[in-house]
Amino acid sequence: MLDLKLVREKAEEVEKALARRNGGFSVKELLEVDAEFRKAQGEWERLRQRANEISELFKTGKVPKEQVEALRLETKDLKRQTEESERLKEELEERLTALRMSIPNVPEPSVPDGADETANVEVSRWGDIPGIENPRHHFELGADLNVFDFARGVKLAESRFTVLMEMGAKIERALMNFMLDFHTEKGYREVFPPILVNRQCMIGTGQLPKFEGDFYKCADDDLYLVPTAEVPVTSLYRDEVLEEEALPVYHCAYTPNFRREAGSAGKDTRGYIRQHQFNKVELVKFCLPERSKEEHESLTRQAELVLEALELPYRRVLLCAGDLGFSAQKCYDLEVWFPAQDKYREISSCSNFGDFQARRANLRYRPAGGGKPRYLHTLNGSGLAIGRTLAAILENNQQPDGSVKLPKVLWPYLKGITELTPAR
């Protein structure tokens, strides 16, 4: 959430920055409720202080007789007023918290203006586009190669759940292990968190309360299936104070992920691109505020290196203000080439959240030179979305005879299998 002190002091600047998101967000109501809450809190504290003063007078036993009855009546009235004042204070505090939770992060100044993805800015490209004549879609290739079984996925669950068969399952697992090995060799500490998280975890990273309908929730418990490993990993240090000397902290984690994909009806209904359940390896960083811009660049580069190791052509795109995620202040998307679609598709989002998530999850560090704990900065990125990576490998490495060559970095994980060949 936003720093309320900053909003009070620079309301106009914050308002203008939020207007760049084209979401109609206003801080006016926030400031009005904040003023009401602080007034109510001051009144509540004044009443309590007066009640304490009277209590202390009675304790001394030196209250003049002519004042005893008046003070008792005042105490009774103070109790009533304090209870009413406390109810008002709590109601206003709830409203204030709800408003703060509903306002997104402020875009960084370097983020370009724009209403949607059409205004995103390409930063760089890597790799050669393969010259494939009449390229086939990954789901067509995968069916012939016995990689995907979409029909049985529907039978077991519903649409957008897929069964990976034989080499499909092996390649998915190989990609997971390759990515985890790749990142841990670069200094990321591996975590394997629970795939069920409590509500506070979802609030901390910004999924809740705004996007309540987008996730799968257990019917009998206040627990959610993780939409991304960002949620449990970011919450590892919730309500803790890390020492400055321990920063930065880098983690990588594999989890299956679950999303209802609300609002995506009709998009990517065929294939393995947009699933309700999918696998992903996530990168999460905790760092000092003055280091987060640099850490964002290196995190994005880390995800790019995975694509380069897999020899998949991609581009880096800087998201405009109107396309930013709720919690991000700046985000790069990495988009991999899909020959059959003749376009790049997002395979990783690498975001710098500043102290936005840290304020929601109470993530702080203690400065080495002493002083009060401060909010740290959090960052995360997909390193990578495994299902989309598998789909991209199939499309970019397809051969005229229907076979698919596999990236060399995966050969050791597949016990020397170097290509997929359709059954004759």
Question: Known catalytic residue: 199?
Answer: no
Please give the Cα distance from 362 to 1 (Å, whole number): 10
Catalytic residue among 36, 261, 311, 346: 346
DSSP annotation of 338: E
Cα diameter, the chain: 107
Residue 37: which of 87, 77, 105 has the closest Cα? 87
Question: Known catalytic residue: 346?
Answer: yes
Question: Known catalytic residue: 349?
Answer: yes
Catalytic residue among 85, 292, 349, 382: 349
Catalytic residue among 259, 315, 316, 360: 259
Report whether the peptide linkage leading into residue 384 is cis, meaning its omega lies within 30 degrees of zero.
Answer: yes
Per DSSP, the three-state class of 332 is strand
Output the CA–CA distances (angstroms, integers) from residue 205 to 241, 314, 316, in the order listed.
17, 28, 24
Residue 349: which of 408, 399, 269, 283 has the closest Cα? 283
Question: Known catalytic residue: 366?
Answer: no
Question: Known catalytic residue: 259?
Answer: yes
Residue 192 CB coordination number (10 Å): 11
Catalytic residue among 48, 274, 291, 345: 274
| DSSP assignments along 215-242, one per residue | S-B-SSSSEEE-S-THHHHHGGGTT-EE
Token readout for 294 is 């640099």
Q: Which residues are catalytic?
A: 259, 274, 346, 349, 388
